Structure 1
Amino acid sequence: MASLLYIAVMLTGIYYVGAGLAPDWSGRELAIFLAGLAALLVVEQVDWRRPRSRNWAASLLLVRMVLLEVVHSADGAGFSRALYVLVPFFAYLYLGRAAGISLAAVYVVAALIRASAVTGGKPDPEVVSDLFMLFIGLALTVATASIATEQRRSRLQAERLVEELTATQQRVAELSAASERNRLARDIHDSVGHHLTAISVQLAKAEAFRERDPSTADRAVADARRTAGRALREVRESVGALRAEPFSLAAALYALVEGLDDPDFRVVLDVDGPDVPGRAGPEALYRVAQEALTNARRHADAGLVRVAFRNAGDDAVLEVEDDGRGFEPDATSGGGLSGMRERLAALGGTVRVESSPGQGTRITASVPAAAR
């Protein structure tokens, strides 16, 4: 905007002289007039190419004021008076509201003093009209600078908000990735680890009965094969979880119990109530059942395990109780129990472990309806 005004005043002055309308305008004055405007154009280019600081803006403002006085001193026609409105504009824009309004007031007072000196204190309609136009121009300039300042402040705030939002999104993505890694780690421990334990037990049984009872050994191998098939199926179901495919807790529990129940390790399932909707809640309860059954078989030497699921009230509750050797819950901090608690806590649920040496173990997990 400033450069366009400089060029407009320059072309007007050249036309004014070329048309013979300025007989008293000497060549020296015209040269100073044009050189001053050219210098102002250079100032705008320098200001546009270099990042601004407050000191830099104040220095350039002072240079503009000096050059404007030089141009005005050589301007016999008074065209350059229109350029004075740029001073409060730049002051407001780069130095603040107080600086812009103060300089506008200074130029109004200076114009009044200059007009009074020219007219000798006598009223002159043309001078009054010029003063009025200068006042209007300064007022409009200050208002424009105010709008431009608010727009720039809004743009900077929007840029900061975008940066903060981007940083927040990156942080959320990192936390989501970490949460997903933890979930996959728990799934691998609860699912694949469970089935590998069952396969290991069945193969050990086959090896022990290979000579004494080949038919029992064959059944154990067949059970190990079925368990491996279930492990593969659950891996596929875990992949399906990433695709948000439906998950039936009741069907999964029936399949789990069917694969583990044998003469040496009896598992009884009792399901009361409708299936649990959604994926996260039922899968979390299923992993608790899987971990509890694995521990009962691998660590507790249990002969009978009762798995009960009920979904009749606000909470879906899973209970796994065995007749094994038991343990001291406060003295145990295994990854399986920690994984159960983490999984349920993420859904607002709870896991309660009741056990004592020689008295078996009861694990109760619940998921609130809001989490489902």
Structure 2
Amino acid sequence: MRPVPWLSPLLYAVVLVAGCYAALAGLGAVRPEFVAGLVALVLVDVVERRRYRDRTPFTPAVALLVVRAALVVVVAAADGSGMSRVLFLLLPFGAYFVFGRVVAIALGLGCAALVVVTFQATVPGWTRQVEQVSDLLMFAVGLVLTVAMAAVAVEEQRGRARLAELSAAAERNRVARDIHDGLGHHLTAVSVLLEKASAFRDRDPAVADRALDDARESARRALDDVRRSVRTLREPFRLASALSELTRGLKVTLDCAGDESGYDPAVLLAVYRAAQEGITNALRHARASAVSVEVHCGQSNARLVVADDGRGFAGPEGFGLRGMRERVALVGGAVEVHSEPDAGTRLVVTVPRSAAS
């Protein structure tokens, strides 16, 4: 994790302006080490960010902390305005991101102690002077706010990291569903057609040849489907034509009605993937002899019905159906599955015209 990148340059600029003003107005002497120290601090920040883009390792972080502390002491000693004391706040702030809260608080207390020692050595009777006591109190308040700001910034960065992990997991799940729903369907179709070609090879070579041709076409569509998933469907998606290609050469009757124009592409894709899963389950698991697919795109929602005369099921749902429910739920839809052993399966999917926000 990195500290807030704009904070250090802002404080360097404020200290530089304050020191120059103090020198010009005669409010305090400013030695050349003042500007040189600020330039060195800027260079340390630049080198660290270029050398360690994401996170500074422990040992270099300790060395850089020591270098920064020494430079801040040099700048503060050369600044007659006293404004440079604010740079000490950067030490516990940066330490919080690398070493944690305990080290940051301890470093902050050390900085406060250094300010007290400096007052004790340079300002006799400072404890009875309002200006010095007020400066010390303001420095202490600044330390508290600095540690609190660092804690908030660290939690925000952790939250962003967790959000990135969740986004990556969601994308992995999407890809897994695409592979299962798309590629799995086409491979099932290829398997069924090859079995058909094998069964009719001796009895009816013409039927076997047609089955092989359909298997090749299904393999081609599988490749197209993978490419479509990789491109995340940037090209316009047409549900009716996609379903027509999906069922070509299979024992599936298709009936598409209504007007799909104006539908959210994510909704149409969810319907398409649900149809893929329903057909795949019917052909591969239910061993159905007949499968029907009905789609109606109405004014407010789309309805998909996939029915088969297969052996049905009564057990728990597999990955495919769970993935389908997740995909449909993402667009605000619902899935119903009606099935009994030896009585076929009826899959009903209803999704709204626009994806849920």
Which stretch shifts more, 247-256 or 233-242? 233-242
Alignment of 1:282-361 (within 5 A): 282-328=268-314, 331-361=315-345
1:181 aligns with 2:172: yes
Distance of 1:247 and 1:158 partners within structure 2: 48
Contact 1:269–1:307, Cα closer than 8 Å, also in 2: yes
Alignment of 1:1-372 (within 5 A): 7=28, 44-45=76-77, 53-54=108-109, 57=112, 60-61=115-116, 64-65=119-120, 67-69=122-124, 86-95=131-140, 149=142, 160-241=151-232, 244-260=234-250, 265-275=251-261, 277-328=263-314, 331-371=315-355
Contact 1:68–1:84, Cα closer than 8 Å, also in 2: no
Distance of 2:190 and 2:160 partners within structure 1: 43
Identity of aligned residues (%): 43
Higher relative contact order (CA 8 A, sep 6+): 2
Q: 1:214 to 1:63 in 2, by over 3 A?
A: closer
Q: Which amino acid aligns with 1:302?
A: A
Contact 1:58–1:95, Cα closer than 8 Å, also in 2: no
Q: 1:87 to 1:324 in 2, by over 3 A?
A: same
Structure 1 residue 160, shift from structure 2 partner: 4.9
> What's the CA shift string for 1:272-298, capped at 9, x where partnerless?
333462322111111111111112122
Structure 1 residue 313, shift from structure 2 partner: 4.2
Contact 2:303–2:348, Cα closer than 8 Å, also in 1: yes
Structure 1 residue 60, shift from structure 2 partner: 3.9
Structure 1 residue 85, shift from structure 2 partner: 5.9
- The alignment's TM-score, normalised by the length of structure 1, stands at 0.62
Structure 1 residue 204, shift from structure 2 partner: 1.5
Q: 1:337 to 1:67 in 2, by over 3 A?
A: closer
SS in 1 for 2:232: helix
Which stretch shifts more, 318-327 or 268-277? 268-277
Distance of 2:151 and 2:111 partners within structure 1: 24
> What's the CA shift string for 1:198-243, capped at 9, x where partnerless?
111111221222122211111111111111121122122212326x
Please identify the structure whose Cα radius of gyration is greater.
Answer: 1
SS in 2 for 1:362: strand
Structure 1 residue 84, shift from structure 2 partner: 5.2
Q: Which amino acid aligns with 1:45?
A: A
Q: 1:205 to 1:351 in 2, by over 3 A?
A: same
SS in 1 for 2:248: helix
* RMSD, aligned CA: 3.5
Distance of 2:114 and 2:189 partners within structure 1: 82
* Residue of structure 2 equivalent to 1:26: none
Distance of 2:129 and 2:149 partners within structure 1: 33
Unaligned runs of 5+ in 2: 1-17, 31-72, 79-84, 93-106
Distance of 2:244 and 2:74 partners within structure 1: 85
SS in 2 for 1:241: coil
Contact 1:257–1:269, Cα closer than 8 Å, also in 2: no
Structure 1 residue 59, shift from structure 2 partner: 6.5
Q: Which amino acid aligns with 2:172?
A: R
> What's the CA shift string for 1:130-168, capped at 9, x where partnerless?
xxxxxxxxxxxxxxxxxxx5xx87776665554443333
Distance of 2:75 and 2:158 partners within structure 1: 39
Contact 2:275–2:304, Cα closer than 8 Å, also in 1: yes
SS in 1 for 2:286: coil
Q: Which amino acid aligns with 1:231?
A: A
Q: 1:42 to 1:271 in 2, by over 3 A?
A: closer
Distance of 1:156 and 1:342 partners within structure 2: 42
Contact 1:326–1:359, Cα closer than 8 Å, also in 2: yes
